[in-house]
Amino acid sequence: MALDFFSLFSGKPRSKNIAKDRLKLVLVHDRANCSVDVLEMLKNDILKVIAKYMDISDEELNIQLTKATSDKNEEVPMLIAEIPFTNVRKPKAEPATKE
Amino acid sequence: MGEVIVVTSGKGGVGKTTTSANIGCGLAMHDKKVALVDADIGLRNLDVVMGLENRIVYDLIDVIEGNCRLKQALIKDKRYQNLYLLPAAQTKDKNAVNPEQMLKLCLSLKEDFDYIIIDCPAGIEQGFKNATAGADRAIVVTTPEVSAVRDADRIIGLLEADELRDPVLILNRIRPKMVERGDMMSIEDVTEILAIDILGIVPDDESIVVSTNKGEPVVGDEAAAAGQAYRNITRRILGEDVPLMDLNVDNSIMGKLKRFFKG
């Protein structure tokens, strides 16, 4: 009882909630058949494309898998990318074909 | 025509063999004719859990290779006269059988038995494919741990891809005190994550260890909580509507109040 009382107010998360959160995250990856490696490669490619148009920093880029509910009310994996940028660059003109 | 039920889990050591043995005995207690099939070729264990290890003459591979007739390999149980065991081979490996052969075996067993319970090996490879080949229904066993639930999720995906729709869950080794203080995932937590129906819950019970030591499945032990759990599961397999057993340790008003406030 003393232990219960203590942990109720200490704000320490219950270990079962930690288990649930970890499990949910790992299952999003398992179910989507998407490994951390694939996500890392994807991140690098996205970075390359965006960098053509905007100034962004690698560290602030956050790409993760999560789940969402589709129009048909089914749970589907969702890719979320947060990409803070500082400046939009004028895209370099494609080398003009000489007339 | 009988029904083939495969007991599977993905992860090893969560209680597949114990569950298979208890469901088999439980159904035999209801006067059903039951065949228990150990599909864990090379790592057989259902024989020792059933206490029948000294009676093995032929095994599953002998039947498949035609070294003996099916009836010669079936071992009659000591306690329940409607119960038979088809043991796994200990000297071969999982690649000694293929899914077509298992399907054929299941079809011939279905002619003579009401229920055929298949104890599936751990893993998702050949042994899993063999064990599920002839199954009509699947039971997934898991414990309230991250690794076991994760593997159960993978197995559910594979079963559904294999046309074994609507597998049901047995949540094994629940420790009510730990659930109550929030240090173990609850029945609701696990079923919410896996999104499948629950067939039953089994408390973590010392009497399982004792009964396994003796080679007598706990379902026959009237005094054991785990025995009651398996008797309930058996009745649900037979189509009865039996409520999940109450695992709450503290049923006093204070206990109920505490649970209410903790959610």
Instruction: Report the gap between the CA of B92 and the closest CA in chain A (Å).
Output: 32
User: Which CATH number covers residue B242?
Assistant: 3.40.50.300
Amino acid at B183: D
Question: pLDDT value at position B102?
Answer: 97
Q: Which of A84-93, B8-17, B89-98, B230-239 has the lowest mean pLDDT?
A: A84-93
- What's the domain range around B174? 3-262
Query: Looking at the complex, does the CB of residue B185 fall below 8 Å from at least one CB of chain A?
Result: yes
Query: Looking at the complex, does the CB of residue A3 fall below 8 Å from at least one CB of chain B?
Result: yes
- Count of structural domains within chain B: 1
* pTM for the model: 0.82
Unique residue bearing structure tokens 């050591």: B13
CB contact under 8 A, B150 and A15: no
Instruction: Report the gap between the CA of B198 and the closest CA in chain A (Å).
Output: 18
Q: Which residues, 6+ apart, have CB-to-CB distance to B33 below 8 Å?
A: B2, B82, B112, B113, B114, B115
- Answer whether residue A92 shows pLDDT above 80: no
CB contact under 8 A, A14 and B182: yes
Rounded Cα gap, residues B105 and B65, in angstroms: 11
Model ipTM?
0.82
Rounded Cα gap, residues A29 and B93, in angstroms: 32
Rounded Cα gap, residues B148 and B146, in angstroms: 6
List, for residues B169-200, the tens digit of each pLDDT value.
999 999 999 999 999 999 999 999 999 999 99
List, for residues A2-61, the tens digit of each pLDDT value.
444 545 555 667 899 999 999 998 898 888 877 778 888 888 888 888 888 888 877 778
Give A-chain residues touching B145 at CB under 8 angstroms.
19
Q: DSSP for chain B?
A: --EEEEEE-SSTTSSHHHHHHHHHHHHHHTT--EEEEE--TTS--HHHHTT-GGG-SS-HHHHHHTSS-HHHHPEEPSS-TTEEEEPPPSSS-GGGS-HHHHHHHHHHHHHH-SEEEEEPPSSSSHHHHHHHHT-SEEEEEE-SSHHHHHHHHHHHHHHHHTT--S-EEEEEEE-HHHHHTTSS--HHHHHHHHT--EEEEEE--HHHHHHHHHT--GGG-TT-HHHHHHHHHHHHHTT---PPP---S--SHHHHHHHHHH-
Q: Which residue of B has its CA nearest to A27?
A: B150
Question: pLDDT value at position A93?
Answer: 64
Instruction: Report the gap between the CA of B27 and the closest CA in chain A (Å).
Output: 34
CB contact under 8 A, A27 and B150: yes
CB contact under 8 A, A23 and B193: yes
Give B-chain residues touching A3 at CB under 8 angstroms.
181
Q: Which of A71-75, B46-50, B74-78 has the lowest mean pLDDT?
A: A71-75
